[in-house]
Amino acid sequence: MPNSRDARSGWLRLPEGSATDAAVKPAPYLPIYEQLLGPLRKEAFTLLELGVWGGHSLQMWRDAFPRATIVGVDLAPPELALGPRVHVIQGDQADAALMRRVRDELAPTGFDVIVDDASHIGITTARSLQVLYERHLRAGGIYVIEDWGTGYLPDWQDGGRMTSTLDADQLDSADTPLQLGSPEPIHMPSHDVGAVGLLKRLIDHVARGTVRYAQPEMVGAPLAIESMTVWDGILVLRKPAV
């Protein structure tokens, strides 16, 4: 995942001293957040971040959004005193009962923005989505999954090696040659390990209208995703406004 630590001049600034901490958001993420969250700069809204670490990103949100309520959840948060608008809660990102309590207490109408910067493990990330997206993210809200590229890290808990290179001229290739006119569906294999696999799975939810049209019996109860935007390291899901 990107790890440039260059100083920058935008309005989102991590606190001094955080640039050397590899667990804190890398600098290339900040312009993406500026683009996403710029319309909220003067608004009163609620932001939930899963994954607190040293509290650097919570401070950044607090300072950039003077009317926002900021909530951080972490398995083992440090003692932090970040003022009355910042709430730090100990707990698991996928604990449904905890999330219900946090929402009832701090965001009764639901969160406007949820950022998952916690485990970076596909299954846990999926469980948080299940717990939070439909029930606790407001209509029109934004759900961000950071560092999903852990699925490319061979040593990560649920990461793994690629089985083919990214050469552009291999886009139409597979282990067995792809043949138009084959009686079987044609699979275009891709890396589907860990959080990378989760992202690719979510595309099926974006396509729920097409699935409903083509195979209505397969729709079930999908996530209502209006759009899915993917950068290297950051995924953004937008929930429909109505």
Say which residues have a Cβ less than 8 Å from residue 160's Cβ, sequence separation at least 6. Answer: 151, 152, 154, 191, 193, 194
User: SS3 for 11?
Assistant: coil
Contact flag: residue 116 with ligand SAM (CB under 6 A): no
221 secondary structure, DSSP code: S
Distance, C-alpha 180 to centroid of its chain? 36
Say which residues have a Cβ less than 8 Å from residue 216's Cβ, sequence separation at least 6. Answer: none
Our CB check for ligand SAM shows the closer of 55 and 110 to be 55
Contact flag: residue 112 with ligand SAM (CB under 6 A): no
Q: Which stretch binds ligand SAM (CB under 6 A): 71-79, 185-193, 197-205, 217-225?
A: 71-79
Q: Tell me whether residue 241 is exposed, middle or buried, using C-beta atoms within 10 angstroms of its C-beta: 0 to 12, 13 to 18, 19 or more.
A: exposed
Q: Which stretch binds ligand SAM (CB under 6 A): 118-126, 151-159, 163-171, 231-239?
A: 118-126
Task: Kindly report the number of other CB atoms within 10 A of residue 118's CB atom.
Answer: 24
Among 4, 11, 23, 182, binds ligand SAM (CB under 6 A): 23
Binders in 131-170 for ligand SAM, by CB under 6 A: none
Shortest distance, position 123 Cβ to ligand SAM, whole Å: 10
Our CB check for ligand SAM shows the closer of 46 and 57 to be 57
Shortest distance, position 168 Cβ to ligand SAM, whole Å: 32
Contact flag: residue 53 with ligand SAM (CB under 6 A): yes
Size of the site for ligand SAM (CB under 6 A): 20
Say which residues have a Cβ less than 8 Å from residue 210's Cβ, sequence separation at least 6. Answer: none
CA distance 129 to 136: 10
Contact flag: residue 114 with ligand SAM (CB under 6 A): no
Contact flag: residue 117 with ligand SAM (CB under 6 A): yes
Among 12, 52, 99, 132, binds ligand SAM (CB under 6 A): 52
